[in-house]
Structure 1
Amino acid sequence: MNSITIDYEGNTRTGIASSLNNISWVNSSTDVLIAYYRNMSEIYDSDFPDYSTPYNFTADEFLDNITAPLQGTKMKTRAGVHGAIVVLPNEETGFPFLEPDGEEILVLGSWYVGDVNEEVAEDLENGADTPRSDSYTINGQPGDFCACSNAMNAELYFAIAQHNLTVVGLDGSYVKPVITGFVMITLGQTMDMLVTANQPLGRYYVAARQYDSARPDVTDYDQTNATAILEYRGNYTTSADPIFPSTLPFYEDFVPALSFTSRLWSLANHDHPVNVPKNITTRMYIAASMNSVTFDYEGITKSGLASSLNNVSWINPSTDVLLAYYRNMSGIYTPDFPEYPPILFNFTADEVPDYTMTTIQGTKVKIFDYNEEVEIVFQGTNVFDASEDHPMHLHGYTFYVVGSGYGNFDDVTDPEGYNLVDPPKMNTVSLPKKGWVALKFKASNPGVWLWHCHLDRHLSWGMDTVFIVKNGGTRETSIREPPPYMPPCSSSAIRLQRLDNSGEKIN
């Protein structure tokens, strides 16, 4: 068994072999932080301050090459650079390209001047919009780039002046090489890119800016450019200003984003096969919407912003769903998350009916049998004239993105165009503005898994749900027993229980 200990100091940790199967996470911060390992099964997330927490996971769940961001659970702790774990390919297969001369990690993040936690808490209490970032951040040095998007509420364009990027990996899985002058990276996503230093000696800007997919008349977004400098070694006279990338798309230009994502395909070869589920037993059609809810604020009934999936806006329970499911507790959640929207209408019309604007709230989950093969189509909507991209992320799983399109999904004609040969394998996919995206996965990782929009304001407003995957009948295909002790966390809003047999609740 290989192991590593990580001290949280806001730094990047790299060079972990693919055979690693034990991690100890040490958090000396007083904030709630999360060790967020993507594509790794059987992991209990770390969200406790001032503790060291061990993690065990199954090494054979690793896909190809993983860049896993470490981030905070609060907007304040997310709004900074926390680094990443890079899992290298095994020695038998190696890289499916020439091994690069070096490797660097760039984390694209958001920055807030004020105490963003206090601002967000106040906004959520009175039903207002959450604060926009004051700037975007970028770290690192050039080489073989592993880029992580740790932004809060925005997808980002990224480019290097006068240098092509060759995208070779996405969310821990290899893709057919894509040579491009820029990339569009969505929230929570990771990309592996190759950069060749083949330009004249000089200094070149590495730049990122927001890709804003909301209405063109909504201009109150962060229009700063995050920059770093790629500087060549050698004897030359440096210019006063580095060269800025001319290939970086403008903030509201959506065509480059669609063009880039349409070029992503899995490697799909002998060493990296594609196994798209074909015996689908559950199909879901999930509409993602902005909505409103009514609530009491200091004795006054008010209407506030909300978001939903199939007209259900998620409410965090008083006890976490994992423990409630593991202990068969009642009254914490209900297993009736709808497989289809309650009302069908023209989801992407310029004007939608008024009755679509309000939503119900609840803690509704969807339960799958072990090894069930699932197809989900996410549908964007224009409720409140607020259609925009939604980066949808599933914890504990990767999935094949088999199709996407503009407008309303047609369940007769659109599946005929599914890519079942080499679809990209992701854990975060961008649901396009006024469009749809289809994905497939096999429910082979038992447990309790969060589905959510990675835009933090939408996550906070309720655009999330939970999938529960039942045990498979053997010890190897069942949820692992919880650790003997889970330390209390005064920063958590959820009342946690000790993970022993006492059943004692902790306030």
Structure 2
Amino acid sequence: MKAVIIQYSSALLLFLSILHCHAAVRRYTFVVDEVPYTRLCSTKSIMTINGQFPGPTLHVRQGETIIVDVYNKAKYNITIHWHGVKQPRFPWSDGPEYITQCPIQPGAKFSQKVIFSTEVGTLWWHAHSDWTRATVHGAIVIYPKKGSSYPFKKPDMETPIILGEWWKKPIMEVYHDMLQSGGDPNISDAFLINGQPGDLYPCSKQDTFKLMVEKGKTYLLRLVNAAMQELMFFSVAKHKLTVVGTDGAYTKPLTRDVITISPGQTIDVLLEANQKPDHYYMASRVYASAVGVAYDNTTTTALVEYAGDYTPTSPPPLPALPYYNDTSASVNFTGSLRSLASKKYPVNVPKKITHRFVYTISVNSFPCPQNSCAGSNGGRLAASVNNISFVSPSIDILQAYYQGINGVFGARLPDFPKYIFNFTGDNLPAYLDTPKKGTEVKFLEYNSTVELVFQGTNILAGTDHPMHLHGYSFYVVGWGLGNFDPKKDPANFNLIDPPLQNTIAVPKNGWSAIRFRAKNPGVWFMHCHIERHLSWGMDTAFIVKNGGPPNTHLLPPPPDMPRC
């Protein structure tokens, strides 16, 4: 009997070990280091993950949890953010520096638990400390759960298409020069597609990214705008693009010649290889709406090459991209996105709202002694949310909130603008230029429902602002040009099939309205994804309190949280 019991126990242990192997959390290793890269006829050292630029693509399934062990072997601090991943009840691995964690210092390690839930499609990861995300970024591909399929024709192949920016100068020098001068940063020297400038730039032709296609097949392009400062137009010559998803959620199919994609945003598009075999350019260039603000006026390209025996057109045809300041082309695309809103993919737009906020988002200026700075009228450029320019603390807000440390942040972010004026008017009075400084956040009760209107202003420079909220996806229920009218505009809100996004480009001198339910406790950063605006203070955070039952509470921190 004893031998039988031992034999049975061994079999049980083997079975349990097999179960454990299948249920084990997958681990990835990210090694942050500096390596030499050559672009535009020159070589410089850049920060990378595992020596790759762009960094490795993560492949996961909907609802999966993974562990990413991040080793910092570079000389700068680093954090990694999983953009668009909600991280339910676990903001500890979300990544923004001094918001949910202290940075990973040189020589240190942090094991980040990344918890996927409802997201499906394409998201991305990037550094979230200073300007290191210029080269530290990569795609996240989230496949449907096993047994599920795409709500569109399964593509024959798929590939990430990551748009980026390149400076010949080291990016941290560009960043520190901006801070020292108080003015705008130097514009980039090139835009990139999958790390390559394309053959319209010097010394770049042989390394241009190529997408090989076969006539009659369909290709899923997973677009990511990883550019630091710019919204981008994107197109493929003589081909139409059908949008089927954005920001980790499916959309109704939307066929367009040109895509507008803002920094931080992801868009899934289907490309049908239905033209005669040849070489065709895919191309991207800036959409820059601010008057008098310099921008990189170059075009990055990659090649779509059909298989077959033929003599390609030389040079390949270029797509017709809109003019750099074509606001109509930008907002008409963004405003056309819709959720599937089907039985299998329903929408859950909050109808009964408990909190209504209006946040003005502005480019501002602080005075400098003897007007010695390079910003407007000799001042130092700044940015604000409801006239408060965010100041990063020296202890992360999540730690301070969790441990009850006083004096790190305040909760005095106004619900509405302090000053009511013609937000988008010309020749605004000078007293509006200067905001207040502060580390102010907004508390939300668990399960409260939020309607937030982002109102762009024309203070100093009216421009688009891609606003990103960590820890949540939100429904974009409305948008418009000019000033939001609280009496008239809500009547036109789309509560039937609004797109579900984590980043929304608030149009130049316009507004966007979002709704979400606060069901993810923790500290969640909200900011403009144009990097200079974030650095200048166009950011804040929501602190969502615990609910009643234990499963609505913030989870405890991991033991290896980086120290400040």
Shift of 1:424: 0.4
Q: Deviations over 1:283-314 (max 9, x none)?
A: 101111111113569999x7311111111000
Q: Distance in 1 between matches of 2:511 and 2:293?
A: 25
Tell me the amino acid that sits aligned with residue 237 of structure 2.
A
Q: Which residue of 2 aligns with 1:36?
A: 82
Out of 124, 128, 138, the residue aligned to residue 68 of structure 1 is: 124
**Structure 1 residues 230, 383: CA separation in 2 closer, same or farther (over 3 Å shift)?**
same
For the 8 Å contact 1:70–1:85, the answer to whether it is kept is no
Q: Which residue of 2 aligns with 1:230?
A: 304
Q: Which residue of 2 aligns with 1:484?
A: 559
Q: Which residue of 2 aligns with 1:245?
A: 319
Q: Which residue of 2 aligns with 1:290?
A: 363
Shift of 1:51: 4.5
Secondary structure (helix, strand or coil) at the match of 2:410 reads: coil
Structure 2 gaps, min length 5: 1-22, 31-48, 96-102, 195-208, 212-218
Higher CA-based Rg: 2
Tell me the amino acid that sits aligned with residue 371 of structure 1.
N
Q: Does 1:318 align with 2:394?
A: yes
Out of 468, 480, 485, the residue aligned to residue 410 of structure 1 is: 485
Tell me the amino acid that sits aligned with residue 428 of structure 2.
V
Larger deviation: 352-361 or 187-196? 352-361
Q: Percent identity?
A: 41
Q: Does 1:135 align with 2:181?
A: no
Shift of 1:183: 0.2
For the 8 Å contact 1:39–1:427, the answer to whether it is kept is no
Q: Does 1:461 align with 2:518?
A: no
Q: Which residue of 2 aligns with 1:90?
A: 145
Tell me the amino acid that sits aligned with residue 457 of structure 2.
T
**Structure 1 residues 299, 71: CA separation in 2 closer, same or farther (over 3 Å shift)?**
closer
Q: Which residue of 2 aligns with 1:502?
A: none
Q: Which residue of 2 aligns with 1:349?
A: 425
Shift of 1:45: 3.3
For the 8 Å contact 1:36–1:68, the answer to whether it is kept is yes
Q: Does 1:16 align with 2:60?
A: yes
Q: Which residue of 2 aligns with 1:114?
A: 169
**Structure 1 residues 186, 417: CA separation in 2 closer, same or farther (over 3 Å shift)?**
same
Q: Distance in 2 between matches of 1:29 and 1:166?
A: 41
Secondary structure (helix, strand or coil) at the match of 2:172 reads: helix
Q: Which residue of 2 aligns with 1:262?
A: 335
Q: Does 1:430 align with 2:430?
A: no
Shift of 1:29: 4.0
**Structure 1 residues 354, 296: CA separation in 2 closer, same or farther (over 3 Å shift)?**
closer
Q: Distance in 1 between matches of 2:518 and 2:250?
A: 21
Q: Does 1:54 align with 2:133?
A: no
Shift of 1:188: 0.4
Q: Deviations over 1:77-98 (max 9, x none)?
A: 3223632121111134310011
Shift of 1:363: 0.6
For the 8 Å contact 1:348–1:407, the answer to whether it is kept is yes
CA RMSD, aligned part only?
A: 2.1
Structure 1 gaps, min length 5: 489-495, 497-507
Shift of 1:352: 1.4
Out of 209, 213, 221, the residue aligned to residue 295 of structure 2 is: 221
Out of 64, 69, 75, the residue aligned to residue 25 of structure 1 is: 69
Q: Distance in 2 between matches of 1:72 and 1:297?
A: 34
For the 8 Å contact 1:12–1:105, the answer to whether it is kept is no
Which structure: greater helix fraction? 2
**Structure 1 residues 408, 259: CA separation in 2 closer, same or farther (over 3 Å shift)?**
same
Q: Deviations over 1:232-277 (max 9, x none)?
A: 111111233111112x212122211121112100001011110001
Aligned length: 483
**Structure 1 residues 353, 257: CA separation in 2 closer, same or farther (over 3 Å shift)?**
same
For the 8 Å contact 2:384–2:539, the answer to whether it is kept is yes
Q: Which residue of 2 aligns with 1:171?
A: 247
For the 8 Å contact 1:40–1:57, the answer to whether it is kept is no
Q: Deviations over 1:401-433 (max 9, x none)?
A: 000011111101100000000000100001111
Tell me the amino acid that sits aligned with residue 66 of structure 1.
T
**Structure 1 residues 263, 313: CA separation in 2 closer, same or farther (over 3 Å shift)?**
same
Shift of 1:472: 1.2
Q: Deviations over 1:368-411 (max 9, x none)?
A: 00111000001111112x10100001111110000001111110
Q: Does 1:4 align with 2:35?
A: no
For the 8 Å contact 2:244–2:253, the answer to whether it is kept is yes
Q: What pairs with 1:371-382 in structure 2 (closer than 5 Å)?
A: 371-382=447-458
Tell me the amino acid that sits aligned with residue 13 of structure 1.
T
Secondary structure (helix, strand or coil) at the match of 2:361 reads: strand
Secondary structure (helix, strand or coil) at the match of 1:119 reads: helix
**Structure 1 residues 351, 106: CA separation in 2 closer, same or farther (over 3 Å shift)?**
same
Q: What pairs with 1:139-158 in structure 2 (closer than 5 Å)?
A: 139=194, 141-142=210-211, 143-158=219-234
Tell me the amino acid that sits aligned with residue 485 of structure 1.
D
Q: Distance in 1 between matches of 2:562 and 2:328?
A: 48
Shift of 1:72: 5.3
Secondary structure (helix, strand or coil) at the match of 1:468 reads: strand
Q: Distance in 2 between matches of 1:179 and 1:487?
A: 45
For the 8 Å contact 2:371–2:379, the answer to whether it is kept is no
Tell me the amino acid that sits aligned with residue 235 of structure 1.
D
Q: Distance in 1 between matches of 2:370 and 2:115?
A: 47
Q: Distance in 2 between matches of 1:383 and 1:72?
A: 27
**Structure 1 residues 363, 28: CA separation in 2 closer, same or farther (over 3 Å shift)?**
closer
Q: Which residue of 2 aligns with 1:328?
A: 404
Q: Which residue of 2 aligns with 1:78?
A: 133
Q: Distance in 2 between matches of 1:368 and 1:81?
A: 32
For the 8 Å contact 1:293–1:360, the answer to whether it is kept is no
**Structure 1 residues 86, 51: CA separation in 2 closer, same or farther (over 3 Å shift)?**
farther
Q: Distance in 2 between matches of 1:298 and 1:163?
A: 51
For the 8 Å contact 2:474–2:516, the answer to whether it is kept is yes
TM-score of the superposition, structure 1-length normalised? 0.91
For the 8 Å contact 1:210–1:251, the answer to whether it is kept is yes
**Structure 1 residues 269, 50: CA separation in 2 closer, same or farther (over 3 Å shift)?**
farther
Shift of 1:330: 0.7
For the 8 Å contact 2:469–2:525, the answer to whether it is kept is yes
Shift of 1:169: 0.4
Secondary structure (helix, strand or coil) at the match of 1:255 reads: helix
**Structure 1 residues 394, 469: CA separation in 2 closer, same or farther (over 3 Å shift)?**
same
Shift of 1:134: 1.2
